[in-house]
Chains A and B, each alone.
Chain A
């Protein structure tokens, strides 16, 4: 099964700035969508399932979606990590989910799931960027 091709074989039409921006925006909004757009179906589908599921698990564990507050640097960094998951974050906010229950035993676990899902999606975006550039 030959699914991987070398950099030399792969066309580099993805290196156009507009297309790169589109791939990164898609990859941020919907985890795995950047890979799906670039024809990496297997990877894209796995990200599409795993990352939102991790985010939902964080909400289920009563984690908090942090507000963007510059006054508290740690909360600010947590807020950036939370927003890495893209559209799911805004949907959760619109549904008033992710308010966080500080007294819940699973609160910190929930926060960890929420932030890690966002941070992992940042890595997925970088990977999609590399694929679009023809580096992978």
Chain B
């Protein structure tokens, strides 16, 4: 999941921003957002049966 989030963040950050510093910032925030959202959603779904 983290690897997938990493690849998607890298491509989106490079597409959206032109300056390397901005790309790093955007990519980092996106990666963090993906990972945190996945954990939060995972825990929210925890009580539900398969």
Q: Interface-forming stretch among A14-22, A40-48, A73-81, A87-95?
A: A40-48
Residues of chain B at interface, number, CB under 8 A: 11
Interface residues of A toward B: which range?
20 to 34
B15 lies within 8 A of A127 (CB): yes
User: Which residues, 5 to 32 on B, are CB-close (under 8 Å) to A?
Assistant: 7-8, 10-11, 14-15, 18-20
For A47, the chain B residues whose CB sits under 8 A away are 11, 14
Tell me, rounded to whole Å, the shortest Cβ–Cβ distance linking B2 to chain A: 12
Q: A57-81 vs B: 1/0 string, CB under 8 Å? A: 1000000000000000000000000
Distance, CA A120 to CA B20, complexed state (A): 20
Can you give 5 contacting A-B residue pairs, CB < 8 Å? A43-B14, A43-B15, A50-B7, A50-B14, A124-B11
